[in-house]
Amino acid sequence: MGERPFLLYLSFYSVPIPLQAKKELVAKYEEKWKRMKHAGPLFKPEGDRGSRQVQSHAVYAAMIESMDHAVGEVLDAMERLDLADRTALFFMSDNGGLSTSEGSPTSNLPLRAGKGWLWTFSRSAGSGIALTSCRIMVPGLSIALSSAQQVGLGKTGID
């Protein structure tokens, strides 16, 4: 690769909707759920809806695995092109999954409700701080922050 700096912005939209996944991965997670034991309700009332309490949606799990694979492809390409040791990566997410609509494919526990609700806040913060997550990978340093941590409501993890 050339020595000139560049910016790559890659936005995955495979999660959360539309709910579509590879059939073989869906089957994998349907089988996994059959083997799991769960005590308690799958849904809990949230307003006029139910909020998923358990990660048991096979299509959503398959979508996440596919997205993880695609991110891995990007990281592998960076290694092959000798870019990994001189590239800063920012992995970001929005504030919660669809636990109460669009088929309710995911749970956001320990947070309440999900995308589109004002409850996508930190329990310790009470209200007013929407949570997002961010993982920054810089050669020699790795930092994981949530917006709650950024404003001093939690510990910053550095590995």
Q: Which pLDDT tens digit goes with each residue over 70-90? A: 999 999 998 999 888 888 888
pTM, two decimal places: 0.73
Distance CA 31, CA 13 (A): 26
Structure tokens at 63: 């979508």
Other beta carbons within 10 Å of 78: 17
- Long-range CB contacts (< 8 A, 24+ apart) of 73-81? 74/10, 81/1
Please answer whether residues 121 and 127 qualify as being in contact, where contact means their C-beta atoms are separated by less than 8 angstroms.
yes
Ranges of each domain in the chain? 23-158
**Strand order, beta sheet including 133-138:** 89-93, 133-138, 141-146, 157-158
* Percent of the chain residues past pLDDT 70, beyond the cut: 73
Decide which of 100 and 62 is more confident.
62
Please answer whether residues 71 and 124 qualify as being in contact, where contact means their C-beta atoms are separated by less than 8 angstroms.
no
Model confidence band, residue 8 (pLDDT cutoffs 50, 70, 90): confident
Q: Which pLDDT tens digit goes with each residue over 27-53? A: 999 999 999 888 889 898 988 888 888
